[in-house]
Amino acid sequence: MSGLDGGSHGRTDLNPNAPHWNRPTRAAIVLKMELPYPTELKGQQDHRQSRSIWETTNLSFEPNKDHHAIVEVVFGIRLARNVSAKEIEALIEAHPKFKEDFPRLNRTQIIQFAIGDGPPPKNMPQPTAGVSFDAMKRDGTLDWRLRIDDNMIFVNCLSYTRWSEIWEKVRQYFTVAGEFAVGSDNSVVGFVLQYIDVFRWTSEIDTYSIGEFLDRESKHLPASIFECGPLWHLHQGWYRPSEPPLDGRLLERIHLDAVFEDKQVPIVKADTFLQLELLKSHTWASIFHDDDSFGTVAYRMLHEVNKEMLRSILTQEMSEKVGLNG
C-alpha cells in the first residue's frame, strides 16, 4: 500500500532544473547546499535501414538497460512565485503521510553573505530554504526524489521502467506536494521534462564507430563528430512555439557527451531537456485532477517530443532497440 494515495497503487547549465547530481547554482550573494547528495553516475552500418532490429547484426553500442537506455528522468513544475517558508514547513509536517514512499528528509542548507567592504543592507531579503524527500535503493543510491527549491517542484526517477508505470507515481507525488506547499495564490507557469540516457561501446576500442549509434543524415549532427573517436561533445538547443491547448513556447535541448566510463569503457550520455513556458498561468487544482487534465496533457506531449528528439539523431536500429518506434 502506498503511503501517498492511501490505497493501491527519477547536470544542467541552461536552467535550474538539474538532475539530482547537479546542485542548483545561485547568484554570488546566496549559496545553497543540500547534504547529503548522492551521486548516481560516477565497420559502420547503413543509416536508417528499414529492416527490423531482429534482422540486423548485434550492435556494438548497447543501451544502459536491456530495453531502454534511461538512467534518470526529471519532472519539474515551475510556479509563478517561490514556495514560502511557511508552505515548506507545512509539507515537512505532513511528511508522515507519505514517509512510506520517501523515508528520508533533507533540508537545503543556506549560507548567505555580502560581497564588498560595507555592511550588508538592513533590508536584505532572506532566502527560503528548500527541502527534498528521498527514497533509496538497497545499494544506497538514490531511487526517487521529491524536491522543492524556490519556485520549482521536482520529481526525480532513477528506476525507470515504462512511462505508463512511472507517470502515475509522479502525478501522485506532485499532488501531495501541491496539497501542502502550493498556496491558492500561486499558479503553474511551466513544465520541465529531462531524460538522461547512456549508451556503452562493447567492442574493441580501435573499432569504435559512432555511426553505428547516431544517424549520419540527422540535421542535428555535424559530420565532424563521426571522425572524432570516442571523446567529443555536442550541445545545442532551440525554441519553437507550442501547440494549443499548451499555448506558449518550448525549449528543446540536446546535450551529447562521449566520454570514458570506469575501466576506460567508451559511453555516450544523451541529456535531452524540454521546458514548456506557458503564456497563461493555470491553477494547481486544474492540472492533475484527471487523465485529461492540463498537466497530464502537457507531460504526455513532452514525452512524445522527447521520443521525437531521440529518433531524430539515432539510427533506426538503435531507435528500435530502445523502443522509440513503438
- Is residue 120 situated within a structural domain? yes
| DSSP-based three-state secondary structure for 167 | helix
CB 88 within 8 A of CB 129: yes
- Write the CA distances from 120 to 117, 128, 129, integer angstroms: 9, 18, 20
The pLDDT score that the predictor gives to residue 230 is 95
pLDDT band at 326 (very low <50, low <70, confident <90, very high): low
Which range of residues forms the domain containing residue 229?
A: 30-321
Alpha-carbon gap, residue 259 to 163, rounded angstroms:
28
- Is residue 16 situated within a structural domain? no
- Is residue 158 situated within a structural domain? yes
C-alpha 238, offset from chain centre: 18
Alpha-carbon gap, residue 216 to 312, rounded angstroms:
11
The pLDDT score that the predictor gives to residue 29 is 37
The pLDDT score that the predictor gives to residue 59 is 80
- Is residue 24 situated within a structural domain? no
- Is residue 38 situated within a structural domain? yes
Torsion of CA 46, 47, 48, 53, to 10 degrees: 50
pLDDT band at 245 (very low <50, low <70, confident <90, very high): confident
Mean pLDDT on 212-237: 95
Is the pLDDT score of 260 beyond 60? yes
Alpha-carbon gap, residue 252 to 17, rounded angstroms:
14
Mean pLDDT of the chain: 83
pLDDT digits (tens, 9 = 90+) for 90-99: 999 999 999 9
pLDDT digits (tens, 9 = 90+) for 27-72: 333 344 443 333 344 333 333 333 333 334 478 999 988 779 999 9
pTM as predicted: 0.81
The pLDDT score that the predictor gives to residue 57 is 46
- Is residue 10 situated within a structural domain? no
User: Quick one: which of 98, 161, 101 has its CA closest to 136?
Assistant: 101
Alpha-carbon gap, residue 247 to 278, rounded angstroms:
6
- Is residue 154 situated within a structural domain? yes
Torsion of CA 154, 261, 236, 211, to 10 degrees: -130
Is the pLDDT score of 279 beyond 80? yes
Mean pLDDT on 306-321: 95
pLDDT above 70 as % of the chain: 76
- Is residue 20 situated within a structural domain? no
The pLDDT score that the predictor gives to residue 111 is 63
- Number of structural domains the chain divides into: 1
Mean pLDDT on 102-119: 78
Mean pLDDT on 292-314: 95
Residue 93: all three cell numbers together: 509536517
Contacts 24+ apart (CB under 8 A), 162-167: 163/303, 166/10, 166/73, 167/299
Is the pLDDT score of 121 beyond 80? no
pLDDT digits (tens, 9 = 90+) for 122-176: 666 566 679 999 999 999 999 999 999 999 999 999 999 999 999 999 999 999 9
Alpha-carbon gap, residue 283 to 270, rounded angstroms:
33
CB 294 within 8 A of CB 286: yes
